[in-house]
């Protein structure tokens, strides 16, 4: 199968890590008041650090936030101001390096990874390198007591300059990558087709409850029937829609999924449970639900607008 997914200077030594990871949540030491206050005010959560990552958070909040930490160089020849400046710069580089490693292991579609595509797709590698260099430094804080510094860097998921947007652009311009959107194990997946059945209610969106599945958010998530027939894939979604919002919403409850879709004017989504996976990024629904989704979409045309929400564990 064609593999896709993408692909230091440290002015001071790494300090004892200031983040604690608890049940998948990456937290900053409360000593760094400026950083913790900023995160609280922005209602944002860290996506990762050099020691961990949280994909669900990145997709649910539409932003990748990484923290880096570095210790000051205690060589007596450096003044306190020079130590602080060096530690701050090193913390930024550490955070940027963590982002680069994070993006290089991002799931793009199915079981394919950008990391393995680096040698095959130099344009994608260049895009990732450019994104890492362009990440926004949103917080820098230095602790004179600990003589360490932390930096939080931010990269948007969607929008004109977002990570997903840049990658979608590269994918749609490359015929080989574009074909892979509808392939499974290197072979073209059959497109789902069925006689349109009457649907009593007019549905304008779709919620897939995947809480019982080992499912992960990805730049491209797909939905298959139980027979591995392709019901939903972003190759059928306009690039403009993908750039602006991706291939779906991601939450951890059906109620939150309804609320997320409601902000887009979707009032009556069809709700189904996933019954399996084709890969970590691809869900399967039952034959009965496949018919309902297919038939409802013939009238509501919600799949073409990526009016889909995925409920994760």
pLDDT for the residue 139? 95
Reference 66, options 75, 76, 55, 77; nearest CA is 55
Report the predicted TM-score, pTM, of the whole model to 2 decimal places.
Answer: 0.77
Q: Which residues make Cβ contacts (< 8 Å) with residue 87, sequence separation at least 6?
A: 11, 12, 70, 71, 72, 73, 142, 147, 148, 149
pLDDT for the residue 125? 64
pLDDT for the residue 168? 80
CA distance 208 to 48: 26
Domain boundaries, the chain: 19-169, 189-311
CA distance 272 to 277: 14
Contact of 117 with 230, CB cutoff 8 Å: no
Q: Which residues make Cβ contacts (< 8 Å) with residue 167, sequence separation at least 6?
A: 6, 108, 114, 124, 127, 219
Mean confidence (pLDDT) of the chain? 81
Please list the rounded mean pLDDT of every run of 10 residues in the chain (313 residues): 26 35 62 91 87 79 89 90 93 88 64 43 62 85 92 86 79 77 86 93 96 88 94 84 84 95 95 94 95 95 94 91
């Amino acid at each position: 199968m064609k593999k896709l997914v993408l692909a230091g200077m440290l002015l001071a030594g790494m300090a004892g890590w200031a983040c604690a990871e608890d049940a998948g949540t990456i937290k900053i030491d409360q000593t760094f008041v400026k950083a913790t206050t900023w995160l609280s005010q922005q209602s944002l959560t860290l996506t990762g650090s050099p020691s961990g990552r949280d994909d669900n958070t990145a997709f649910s909040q539409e932003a990748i936030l990484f923290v880096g930490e570095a210790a000051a160089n205690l060589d007596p020849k450096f003044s306190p101001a020079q130590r602080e400046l060096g530690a701050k710069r090193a913390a930024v580089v550490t955070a940027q390096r963590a982002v680069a490693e994070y993006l290089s292991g991002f799931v793009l579609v199915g079981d394919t990874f950008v990391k393995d595509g680096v040698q095959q797709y130099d344009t994608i590698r260049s895009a990732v390198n450019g994104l890492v260099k362009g990440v926004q430094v949103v917080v820098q804080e230095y602790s004179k007591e600990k003589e360490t510094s932390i930096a939080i860097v931010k990269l948007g998921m969607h929008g004109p300059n977002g990570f997903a947007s840049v990658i979608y652009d590269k994918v749609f311009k490359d015929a080989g990558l574009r074909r892979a959107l509808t392939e499974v194990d290197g072979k073209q997946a059959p497109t789902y087709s069925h006689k349109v059945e009457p649907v009593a209610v007019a549905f304008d969106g779709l919620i897939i409850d995947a809480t019982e599945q080992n499912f992960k958010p990805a730049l491209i998530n797909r939905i298959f029937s139980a027979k591995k027939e392709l019901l939903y894939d972003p190759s059928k979604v306009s690039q403009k829609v993908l750039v602006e919002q991706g291939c779906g919403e991601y939450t951890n409850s059906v109620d939150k999924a309804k609320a997320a879709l409601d902000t887009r004017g979707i009032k009556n989504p069809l709700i189904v449970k996933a019954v399996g996976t084709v890969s970590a990024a691809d869900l399967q629904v039952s034959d009965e639900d496949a018919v309902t989704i297919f038939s409802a979409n013939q009238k509501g045309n919600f799949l073409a607008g990526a009016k889909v929400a995925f409920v994760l564990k």
